Amino acid sequence: MAIGSYSGASVVVDVTGGISISPIPSTKIKPYCKFFVNDSDSYSMNVDGSSTPKVFTVAPQSGYIWYCEHLTFGIDDGGTCPPSNYGALSELTNGVLIELVRGTSEIQIANLRNNGDIALCFNHSVGFFENGKFMATSNGFFGKLVFATCIALDGTNGDKFRVTIRDNLSSLTFQRMSAQVWEIEENG
């Protein structure tokens, strides 16, 4: 099934979700690091979603297709951050829900309730920093969730990644997520 075609080139997704990209002019494909944002275009995910869940998304515009290699997650907090906490907060009641939305289908990727969940999910290219060590003034974690094959997101279909904050994370110093994508304009 071709989902985008160009003079002499096509992008094909097979039934197992793998992709192959035949030669595409370099002017038609662009790499981006896209931050998840809320309705106000804010990418700061240290918010209070306990009474009203806060939603952050990253998605291609209509007429564009993204191929996502990985998601990146970063959290920073001033207190002690054992595996059973979320940052330095107690384990979350509801969690941070990460989903892939394809049209009307919602696919749960993860529900992060503690630092152990974060470390197991975002376990590639991991970086830790500890207060008082090598210029760090707080405790934090950065890591990537790398997909086995690139995930195709079609902006015309409304495909996106969605993160829903369902607890109070406002006391965290920092929390953000991004997607590393290759963008292709359909029939561009």
pLDDT in tens, 55-75: 999 999 999 999 999 999 988
| pLDDT-based confidence at residue 187 (cuts at 50, 70, 90) | low
Give the residues across from 179 on adjacent strands: 34, 71
What percent of the chain shows pLDDT beyond 70? 76
Q: Residues 6 or more apart from 51 whose CB is under 8 A from it?
A: none
What would the pLDDT profile of 119-134 be if each residue is shown by its tens digit?
A: 899 887 666 555 555 4
User: Average pLDDT in the 67-88 region?
Assistant: 87
As a whole number of angstroms, the distance between CA 109 and CA 163 comes to 10
pTM of the model: 0.81
Nearest in space to 114 (alpha carbons), one of 94, 98, 100: 94
CATH architecture of the region 27-185? Sandwich (2.60)
Among the ranges given (28-32, 144-148, 155-159), the one the predictor scored with the smallest mean pLDDT:
28-32
Q: What amino acid is encoded at 79 in this protein?
A: G
Is residue 153 exposed (0-12), middle (13-18) or buried (19+ Cβ within 10 Å)?
buried
| Strand order across the 19-21 sheet | 2-6, 9-13, 19-21
DSSP code per residue over 23-87: ---GGGEEEEEEE-B-TTS------B-SSS-EEEEE-PPTTEEEEEEEEEEEEEESS---TTSBT
What was the pLDDT predicted at 129?
53
Q: What is the pLDDT of residue 131?
A: 52
Name, in order, each residue with C-beta under 8 angstroms of 58's C-beta and a sequence gap of 6 or more. Answer: 34, 35, 36, 37, 160, 161, 177, 178, 179
pLDDT-derived band at 23 (thresholds 50, 70, 90) equals very low
Cα angle 123, 127, 131 (rounded to 5 degrees) comes to 135
| Number of other CB atoms surrounding residue 31 within 10 Å | 10
Confidence of residue 160 (pLDDT cuts 50, 70, 90): very high
Ranges 16-20, 91-95, 148-152, most confident: 91-95
**pLDDT higher at 188 or 180:** 180
Mean per-residue pLDDT for 17-43?
A: 72
